[in-house]
Amino acid sequence: MPRALLHLHAPVPELPDLAPDELLRADLATKGLSESGCHLLDAHRTRLRNLGCVPLAAVRHGQLVWTAGSVIARQKPPSAGGFAFFVLEDRLARVQVVISPDRLWQVVGVG
């Protein structure tokens, strides 16, 4: 019968539960996705609502609104007319947005 080379009987340490935003960061850093059900915008929803951002599910065709979402796809380079095309998602909805060249500078986080 083979003998074990190491006999480790270390006690399992007590660890505090992670806050939802910490768990999300850990999931994304280690796996590139979240199994916890958290979304990147969850920690910011109240602030976004207070700023007047419209949830993506409430955006209607042709509306000019302030909204927020994770960019999951974008056209590179923009069109010949300078228009940019993005797909945004915010857990509940995905929308394709067209941003005119005169508004593109106002888009935060696009690089």
* pLDDT score at 65: 84
* pLDDT score at 107: 59
Among 7, 26, 51, residue at a domain's last position: 51
- Characterize 6-44 residue by residue with b for buried, 16 or more Cβ atoms within 10 angstroms of its Cβ, and e for exposed: eeeeeeeeeeeeeeeeebbbebeeeeeebeeebbbbbee
- At 4-55, the pLDDT tens digits run 666 677 888 898 998 877 888 888 788 877 777 777 788 788 899 999 999 9
Same domain, 76 and 24: no
Report how many domains make up the chain. 2
Look at the pTM and tell me if it is higher than 0.85.
no
Same domain, 110 and 84: yes
Percentage of the chain lying above the pLDDT 70 cut: 86
Could you tell me the residue range of the domain that residue 32 belongs to?
Answer: 16-51
